[in-house]
Amino acid sequence: MEKIFTTRSILLWILFAVVMCAIPFLAGKGFLRICIQAFFLAIYAMSWDVLSGRTGYVSFGHPFLVGIGTYATAILSYRFDMPLIASIPLGILATMIGGTILFLPALRIKETYFALVTLAFMELIYQLTQVVRPDLTGGTRGISGIESITTGAINNYYLSFGLMFIIAFSLWALMRTRLGNALSAIGMNEEAVKGCGINTTKLKLFAFLVSALVAGIGGAFSVHYFGSLAPRNLFDINFLFTIIVAALIGGSSTIIGPMIGALFLTFLLEYLRPWVPGTERFFIYGIVALLLYMYRPSGIYAIFWEVVDKFKGKNASSIKDSTSIQGVK
């Protein structure tokens, strides 16, 4: 195993955990609820990043993955009275299995078309949820009154933060191994990775499975926090857009970037609420994201390190080792 855990990085992670755990003592419930939303978005964005940020296989179908997890656990617990301790793992499992069966053929095709197939999947599933077994899925109206895991903003804050923290830390460690190098290399030149004697299909499938696992966890837990689901909110281009934008403006293929991006986006939205209450917020999001993507494709995280380095008077290029490199450009 590579030398992943430097003293400095471990200290930073601990510091991060301590600061975030202290927030409930300092902030009100409203603030905590915003944080919870941000944490779930961060989970989706990291899930997207593991697959798309690294390998360049851009998934436009992440809402579809999140949706499988969400629907599976919601239906099992709400319609069949299954306890959450069983329905949530089954929901996550369903995401991995369902996602793999459907996406596996798509991983054989080239990047650009992969995005389109996943987009088609999302629209397909949206239309199917409305017509196939509406007695289970709740049709267009979805399901509400879903059992919650725990009550109160503080409990849910710790639960969702715990999930995000574990996922972020594990993915970060995983991507610092040679596996991370190999996945980034696929994004740069897949043929050349094959030319190194590596079965890229296997690697992509692994990245996909990890991505589906994380998306499934996010989906399954979030539905028991929000208590309801509706197909139009789930299988929606705006939802897809929020996930991708969070990952991109944070800094794709860094894991930490998408987490920062999700927090940034959610809080930006909250503080813009007095001025732009509705869907218009996507207008501002989108413009910010587009400009950042066009002119600073490495995202906020890289900008942060550049500033830190400038402050220390170090050469800016030395950050390349610590932040790794963005795969999607």
Scan residues 114-173 and list those touching another protein (CB under 8 A).
115-117, 119-121, 123-124, 127-128, 130-131
**Amino acid present at 39:** F
Query: Is 182 a binder of another protein (CB under 8 A)?
Result: yes
299, 326 contact by CB (below 8 A): yes
Report how many residues bind another protein under the rule CB under 8 A: 74
CB of 56 to another protein, least distance (A): 6
Q: How far apart are CA 215 and CA 92, in angstroms?
A: 8
Contact code string over 194-213 relative to another protein, x by CB under 8 A: xxxxxxx-xx--x-------
Longest dimension (CA), the chain: 63
Is the Cβ–Cβ distance between 209 and 96 less than 8 Å?
Answer: yes
Which residue is listed with tokens 């798309």? 52
User: For residue 79, what are its two tokens?
Assistant: 């319609």
**Residue labelled with tokens 């930006």:** 268
Return the residue of 36, 41, 50, 58 that touches another protein, per CB under 8 A. Answer: 58
Q: Minimum CB separation from another protein for residue 103, in Å?
A: 10
Taking contact as CB under 8 A, which single stretch among the options 33-41, 88-96, 159-167, 284-292 is the one that binds another protein? Answer: 284-292
DSSP state of 326: -
Q: Which is nearer to another protein, 314 or 320 (CB)?
A: 320
| C-beta closer to another protein: residue 22 or 316 | 316
The span from the CA of 109 to the CA of 126, in Å, is: 23
Q: DSSP for 102-125?
A: HHTGGGGS-HHHHHHHHHHHHHHH
Query: Is the torsion defined by CA of 39, 212, 292, 309 positive or negative?
Result: positive
In the complex with another protein, the residue whose CB is nearer, 77 or 200, is: 200
Q: What's the rounded Cα separation, in Å, for the pair 196 and 62?
A: 30
Binding residue (CB under 8 A) for another protein from 10, 22, 166, 287: 287
| DSSP code for 52 | I
Judged by CB under 8 A, which of 164, 259, 262, 289 binds another protein?
Answer: 289
- Among residues 9 and 170, whose Cβ is nearest to another protein? 170
Question: CB-wise, 90 or 120, nearer to another protein?
Answer: 120
Q: Which of 174, 268, 272, 300 binds another protein (CB under 8 A)?
A: 174
- Nearest Cα to 239, choosing from 45, 53, 85, 87? 45
* Interface pick for another protein out of 19, 26, 101, 294 (rule CB under 8 A): 294
Q: Footprint of another protein on residues 65-124 (CB under 8 A)? A: 105-106, 108-113, 115-117, 119-121, 123-124
Nearer to another protein among residue 277 and residue 313 (C-beta): 277
Candidate residues 286, 314, 316, 322; the one interacting with another protein per rule CB under 8 A: 286
Q: Which is nearer to another protein, 35 or 58 (CB)?
A: 58
For residue 315, what are its two tokens? 């050469």
Residue 19 and residue 33: Cα distance in Å, rounded? 17
Rounded-to-integer distance, Cα 234 and Cα 257, Å: 23
Give me the least distance between CB of 140 and another protein, in Å please. 10
Residues 300-319 that bind another protein (CB under 8 A): none
Q: Please provide residue 57's backbone torsions phi and psi, each rounded to the nearest 5 degrees.
A: -80, 90
Q: Whose Cβ is closer to another protein: residue 94's or residue 249's?
A: 249
